[in-house]
Amino acid sequence: MTAIDEPAPVAKTARWTGRILSGLVIVFLLFDGAIKLVPWPIVTETMDKMGYGSSETLARSLGIITIVCTVLYSVPPTSILGAILLTGYLGGAMASHVRIDSPLFTHTLFGLYLGLMVWGGLWLRDPALRNFIPFRRRLAS
C-alpha cells in the first residue's frame, strides 16, 4: 500500500448530483454578489437593518468577495479553497443574523443550508475530497 492512494472513481450519478448542487450554489452566489455590486436599494436597506449601515462601498466590497470566492469554488483546481472561503463568508452571515435575532430556519440557518450544498456538491464531484473525507458503510456482522 502506498502512502498516497489513488482517488476512487466517482459514480456518474454522484458526479452529476454534485455538479447540479454546486451549480445551484454558484448561480445563487453570483447573483447575490452581482446585486451587491450595483448596489440595489434592497441591498443597502438590508445591510442597514443588520447594523452595518447603508454603505454602498461596503456592499460593493462584499459583492466582490462573494464573486471571487464563488469563482474559486467553481474552478476545479481551486474548488476546495473556494469552499473554505465560502464557509467563512457564510459563517459570518449566520453570525450577523444571530446578532439581530433573525428567524432561525429561514434567515439564520440559510448560510448553513448553502454551506451544506457547497461541501455536499464538492464531495459528490471530487474524488480527492471523497478520499480525504470518507464515509464508510458499516458491514453487517
Per-residue pLDDT of 72-97, as tens digits, reads 999 999 999 999 999 999 999 999 99
**Higher pLDDT, residue 120 or 50:** 120
* pLDDT at residue 137, rounded to an integer: 64
- Grid coordinates representing 16? 452529476
* Mean pLDDT (the chain, rounded): 89
* pLDDT at residue 1, rounded to an integer: 47
* pLDDT at residue 20, rounded to an integer: 96
* pLDDT at residue 6, rounded to an integer: 63
Residue 22 to residue 117: CA distance in whole angstroms: 7
- Grid coordinates representing 59? 456592499
Cα-based torsion angle of the residue sequence 20, 22, 24, 28 in order, rounded to the nearest 10 degrees: -170
Residue 33 to residue 45: CA distance in whole angstroms: 16
Among 5-14, 116-125, 131-140, top mean pLDDT goes to 116-125
